[in-house]
Amino acid sequence: MRTIPVFSRFLGLCVLATTALGIAACGSGSNAQPQIPLAIVNEVLFLTDQQNSALRFDNGAVYTKGGLRGLIVVRQNVGTYLAFDRTCPYQPQDTCARVRIEPLFRLFDPCCQSQFSFTGQPQGGPATLPMRRYSTALSGNVLTITN
């Protein structure tokens, strides 16, 4: 039976402990935020419908169903639309973590005070991750949102 010297075992344990702490530290920094749970998204918006009239103008935004707590759709320009989950990326497990539209200004979560641009990027508050974005496809006056 072969024996490992005590020092070698000690050194091996130190390397193992340091590696474990390093891996744990990667996920526990100040930027660590829980992930938004995945939701199947397959929604269709008719841009000619009256409830979507805000999408006739650049930076216009509307709420629609889908995602975890609903979706926000933003018109960037005549052919480009962005769709985001309303769940705030800062603390998505909180039931009040729901982003709202402040027309012509920003997207805002009153629960944690996080602010987002109309491209979903964090601009203030504790959130450091962008809003979850879904794919959009425009065909005539029909906008399809999927993941």
Whether pLDDT at 20 is above 70: no
Model confidence at 33: pLDDT above 90:
no
Cα-based angle 92, 94, 96 (whole degrees, multiple of 5): 105
Q: What angle do CA 85, 81, 138 make, to 5 degrees?
A: 115
Pairing state of beta strands 71-77 and 142-146? unpaired
pLDDT band of 32, cuts 50, 70, 90: low
Q: pLDDT by residue (tens digit) across 74-96?
A: 999 999 999 999 999 999 999 89
Residue 6 has pLDDT above 50, yes or no: no
Q: Which of 37, 78, 32, 33 is nearest to 55 (CA)?
A: 78
**Which of helix, strand or coil describes residue 10?**
helix
Which tokens go with 27?
Answer: 């996920």
Per-residue pLDDT of 61-70, as tens digits, reads 999 999 999 9
27 pLDDT more than 80: no
* Strand order through the sheet with 106-109: 100-102, 106-109, 114-116, 122-124
Position of tokens 């497990």? 93
Pair of tokens at residue 126: 């504790």
Point out which residues pair with 137 in neighbouring strands: 144
pLDDT band at 119 (very low <50, low <70, confident <90, very high): very high
pLDDT of residue 66: 95
| Reported pTM | 0.76
Whether pLDDT at 26 is above 60: no
Count of residues in the chain: 147
For residue 137, give Cα distances in angstroms to 77, 78, 91, 141, 142.
Answer: 14, 13, 29, 10, 8
